[in-house]
Amino acid sequence: MNFTDKTVLVTGSSRGIGLAIAHAFDKLGARLILHARSAIKPEVIASFHQEPLTLQFDIADAKAAEEALKALYKQDDFEGIDILVNNAGITKDQITIGMLPADFAQVVNVNLNGTFNVTQPIFKKMIRQKHGSIINISSVVGQMGNVGQVNYSAAKAGLIGMTKTLAKEGARRQIQVNAIAPGMIVSDMTDQLSDKARKSLLESIPLSRFGSAEDVADVAVFLAGNNYITGQTITVDGGLHI
């Protein structure tokens, strides 16, 4: 695939899955726009073949998102966003009976409302330009639930519903909207697991290994390059949720 004529915005792309997705598109020639809530480190920016644009704002702040995107589109040489990957999100895990209402609200606000805050203004532009691809990073826990993640599960399930609705609304303007639901992906969290916890988790995964951020990035590139898939959720979990 070649994305040399495409501009890709990846939210939450300073590390982890978001950074891997941004690198995957960069290797295929795309123009990248990185986003994070805090300043992106110079070494991250330097890791790209083409110097990316950067955006810094909290996606949960609707006004901040609107103003940042408005300023981006006003740049004289900016032609628009072809591919949006909504990856930014947070977790605040706790069993349901012990979860603070504020922690439930914050996780839903960032992961679900925040995705809407970024998507709505870009979706409007895509409708006018009559093309576009939106990829929402959901989670396998949005499909199967998980102990201690009632807030995160609810938000990620909501993203799947959002994906289907946007796909129906955007189809006539050739806008494709899909979701990816990663399972257990190698991260700082998995690195800190005890041997017993790691063994238990691996036994629940038919492929008997954790996935990599690159496994998710490969699917994002595939979805962005295909012109006849929309409204779907692709699960990348080694068979955890079958």
Q: Distances in Å between the alpha carbon of 165 and those of 18, 28, 169?
A: 23, 29, 6
Average pLDDT taken over every residue of the chain: 97
Looking at 7-21, 55-69, 181-195, 222-236, which range is the least confident one? 181-195
Q: Write down the catalytic residue from 3, 57, 152, 210.
A: 152
The CATH topology of domain 7-185+213-235 is: Rossmann fold (3.40.50)
152: annotated active-site residue: yes
The side-by-side arrangement of strands in the sheet containing 83-86 is: 53-56, 31-36, 7-10, 83-86, 132-137, 175-182, 233-236
Confidence at 191, pLDDT banded by 50, 70, 90: confident
Say whether 91 sits in a helix, a strand or coil: coil
If one counts every other C-beta atom within 10 angstroms of the C-beta of residue 172, the result is 9
| Burial class of 13 by CB neighbour count within 10 A (0 to 12, 13 to 18, 19+) | buried
**Residue boundaries of the structural domains of the chain:** 7-185+213-235
Say if pTM beats, i.e. exceeds, 0.75: yes
